[in-house]
A and B are shown apart, each in its own frame.
Chain A
Amino acid sequence: MPHQCTSCGRTFPDGSKEMLSGCPDCGGNKFQFKPRGRTEPDDPAGRTEPDDPADRSGDQDDQAESVSTGPVSQESTPTKPNAGGTESDIPKRKQPDNRSTAQQSAERTEARSTASGRSTRNKGVSEDVPAREPESTPEATSDAQREEPTAQGTDPTVRESDSTARESDSTARESDPSTHRSTDSATDTEQVGGREHEDTAQASARTDVVTPDELDRASQPVATQDTDDPDADSGERPDIEELRDELNEQFESIRIVSPGKYELNLMELYDRQEYIISLQEDGRYVIEMPDAWGIDGE
Chain B
Amino acid sequence: MGLLTNLRDSISRVTDGLFAADEPKRIGIYGPPNAGKTTLANRIARDWTGDAVGPESHIPHETRRARRKENVAIERNGRKVNIDIVDTPGVTTKVDYKEFLEHDIDKEDAVRRSREATEGVAEAMHWLREDVDGVIYVLDSTTDPFTQVNTMLIGIIESQNLPVLILANKTDLPESDVKQIANAFPQHETIPLSALEGENMDEVYTKIAEYFG
| Inter-chain contact A296/B65, CB cutoff 8 Å | yes
CB distance from B22 to the nearest CB of A (A): 20
Asked whether A45 is an interface residue with its Cβ less than 8 Å from the other chain, the reply is no
Q: Is the interface of A mostly helix, strand, loop or mixed?
A: mixed
| Inter-chain contact A260/B96, CB cutoff 8 Å | yes
Asked whether B130 is an interface residue with its Cβ less than 8 Å from the other chain, the reply is yes
User: When chains A and B are docked, how far (Å) is the Cα of A278 from the Cα of B123?
Assistant: 13
| Inter-chain contact B95/A295, CB cutoff 8 Å | no
User: When chains A and B are docked, how far (Å) is the Cα of A290 from the Cα of B69?
Assistant: 20
| Inter-chain contact A264/B94, CB cutoff 8 Å | yes
CB distance from A296 to the nearest CB of B (A): 5
Taking CB atoms and an 8 Å cut-off, the chain B residues in 103-121 that contact chain A are 107, 110-111, 114-115, 118-119, 121
| Inter-chain contact B97/A264, CB cutoff 8 Å | no
Chain A residues with CB below 8 A from B98, complex form? 260-261
| Inter-chain contact A278/B115, CB cutoff 8 Å | yes
| Inter-chain contact A261/B96, CB cutoff 8 Å | yes
| Inter-chain contact B66/A295, CB cutoff 8 Å | yes
User: When chains A and B are docked, how far (Å) is the Cα of A267 from the Cα of B9?
Assistant: 34
Taking CB atoms and an 8 Å cut-off, the chain A residues in 255-298 that contact chain B are 259-267, 269-270, 273, 276, 278, 288, 290, 293, 295-298
CB distance from B30 to the nearest CB of A (A): 11
Give the size range of B's interface with the partner. Answer: 35 or more
User: When chains A and B are docked, how far (Å) is the Cα of A254 from the Cα of B5?
Assistant: 35
Chain B residues with CB below 8 A from A267, complex form? 152, 156
Tell me whether A297 and B122 are in contact in the complex, defined as CB-CB below 8 angstroms, given that A261-B95, A264-B95, A270-B129 are known contacts: no
| Inter-chain contact A261/B97, CB cutoff 8 Å | yes
Q: Tell me the number of A-to-B contacts counted with CB atoms below 8 Å.
A: 96
User: When chains A and B are docked, how far (Å) is the Cα of A169 from the Cα of B49?
Assistant: 78
User: When chains A and B are docked, how far (Å) is the Cα of A253 from the Cα of B92?
Assistant: 13
Taking CB atoms and an 8 Å cut-off, the chain B residues in 32-66 that contact chain A are 51-54, 65-66
| Inter-chain contact B115/A296, CB cutoff 8 Å | no
| Inter-chain contact A297/B65, CB cutoff 8 Å | no
Tell me whether A262 and B94 are in contact in the complex, defined as CB-CB below 8 angstroms, given that A267-B152, A295-B67, A297-B68 are known contacts: yes
| Inter-chain contact A270/B69, CB cutoff 8 Å | no
Give the A interface residue count (CB, 8 A).
Answer: 23
Chain B residues with CB below 8 A from A269, complex form? 121-122, 125-126
Taking CB atoms and an 8 Å cut-off, the chain B residues in 1-30 that contact chain A are 2, 5-6, 9
Chain A residues with CB below 8 A from B129, complex form? 270, 273
Chain B residues with CB below 8 A from A265, complex form? 93
CB distance from A247 to the nearest CB of B (A): 14
CB distance from B68 to the nearest CB of A (A): 4
User: When chains A and B are docked, how far (Å) is the Cα of A261 from the Cα of B98?
Assistant: 8
Taking CB atoms and an 8 Å cut-off, the chain B residues in 73-109 that contact chain A are 86, 91-98, 107
The 9 closest A-B pairs by CB, nearest first: A260-B97, A260-B111, A269-B125, A295-B68, A276-B122, A262-B118, A295-B66, A260-B114, A262-B95
Can you list 25 A-B pairs, Cβ within 8 angstroms, ordered by A? A254-B118, A259-B97, A260-B110, A260-B111, A260-B115, A261-B96, A261-B98, A262-B96, A262-B115, A264-B92, A264-B118, A266-B93, A266-B121, A266-B149, A267-B156, A269-B122, A273-B129, A290-B126, A290-B130, A293-B126, A295-B66, A296-B54, A296-B67, A297-B2, A297-B67
Measured CB to CB, the residues of B under 8 A from A are 2, 5-6, 9, 51-54, 65-70, 86, 91-98, 107, 110-111, 114-115, 118-119, 121-123, 125-130, 149, 152-153, 156
